[in-house]
Amino acid sequence: MNSEYTASASRPDQACTPDAVRIDVLDLCAEIFQGPDLESFPALLGQELPDLARRAADCGSPLAEPLAFLIQVSPCMASSNDINASLADLESAYVSLFINARGGIQAPLYESCHTPNGGRLMGPPAEAMSERLVQAGLTLVDGLAEPPDHLSIELEYLAFLLTEALDEDNPALATLARDFALQVLPAWRRWADTLESVIPAEPDTTRASTDGSIGRTPEAFFRAAARLTLAALNPVSD
């Protein structure tokens, strides 16, 4: 899985533990919110997501349920035609929800935009995140133009801290990860609430048609991914 920064940390090798699953869910959500990509998304949704859901269920992770729901609303990736059509729909929804839309961006992917006292781009959360990356010895990849408080960067940073804490059995790093999650979670809750408000309510999935098409809209996919993101952040904060 591509990272928005480079680091020397090792990663758990597909370990079936709740902590390892949580780290991989953070990485999964980070990749989703980087935006649809023809090179990575077919494998991400067609293989990595189902494999991660199975691991979560096997180890009793609380993330098993939101992972299963994300699969339920994920676009079909069974053929090249499915992939091309699905990615086009996902990209259109991604731009409309997070990048540019008539009347303004609906749910921007920057922590600074969801603070109680401001909401301007490149606000104090971006400055704080830049300092955290420097202190951790992490570097944004060359050519990345995103502010450092982009959701994907923050999720990757948290995954990095948790990985280091597990690898080194380091309580101080575990506490740093928990404190970071506690600090950013309120902003991302506001972001998720905004996303819920701009996406039409989902239908009763128990009444879905036999082809499973009900609920498989690109907007529903991103809403489910946002819910999964919050679920992955919450256990870290407890």
Residue 201 has a pLDDT of 72
Interatomic CA distance for residues 81 and 146, integer angstroms: 31
Residue 15 has a pLDDT of 67
The shares of helix, strand and coil residues in the chain, as percent rounded to the nearest 5, are 65, 5, 35
Token duo for residue 44: 């991400």
Cβ neighbours for 60, distance < 8 A, ≥ 6 positions apart: 18
The overall pTM is greater than 0.85: yes
- 187-193 contacts, C-beta under 8 A, 24 or more apart: 187/111, 187/114, 187/115, 187/125, 188/111, 188/114, 188/151, 188/229, 188/230, 188/233, 189/230, 190/114, 191/107, 191/108, 191/109, 191/113, 191/114, 191/151, 191/226, 192/226, 192/227, 192/229, 192/230
Residue 104 has a pLDDT of 73
Residue 143 has a pLDDT of 56
The answer to whether 89 and 36 have CB atoms below 8 angstroms apart is: no
Q: Are strands 5-6 and 139-140 parallel, antiparallel or unpaired?
A: antiparallel
The answer to whether 174 and 165 have CB atoms below 8 angstroms apart is: yes
For 126-176, write each residue's pLDDT tens digit. Answer: 999 999 999 999 887 755 678 999 999 999 999 999 999 999 999 999 999
Helix (H, G, I), strand (E, B) or coil at 87: helix
For 172-184, write each residue's pLDDT tens digit. Answer: 999 999 999 999 9
pLDDT in tens, the chain (238 residues): 334 433 333 344 456 899 999 999 999 999 999 999 888 899 999 899 999 999 999 999 999 999 999 999 998 766 677 788 889 999 999 999 999 877 778 899 999 999 887 678 888 999 999 999 999 998 877 556 789 999 999 999 999 999 999 999 999 999 999 999 999 999 999 999 999 998 877 655 444 444 444 467 999 999 999 999 999 998 654 4
Question: Which residue bears the tokens 């946002």?
Answer: 226
Distance (Å) of CA 94 to CA 19, 87, 88, 91, 135: 29, 10, 10, 5, 32
Phi-psi region of 66 (alpha: psi -120 to 50; beta: other; left: phi over 0): alpha
Residue 105 has a pLDDT of 82
Residue 122 has a pLDDT of 83
CB count within 10 Å of CB 152 equals: 21
Residue 75 has a pLDDT of 84
Residue 208 has a pLDDT of 42
The answer to whether 158 and 84 have CB atoms below 8 angstroms apart is: no
From the DSSP assignment, how many helices (H) and strands (E) are in the chain?
9, 2
Chain centre to alpha carbon of residue 152:
6
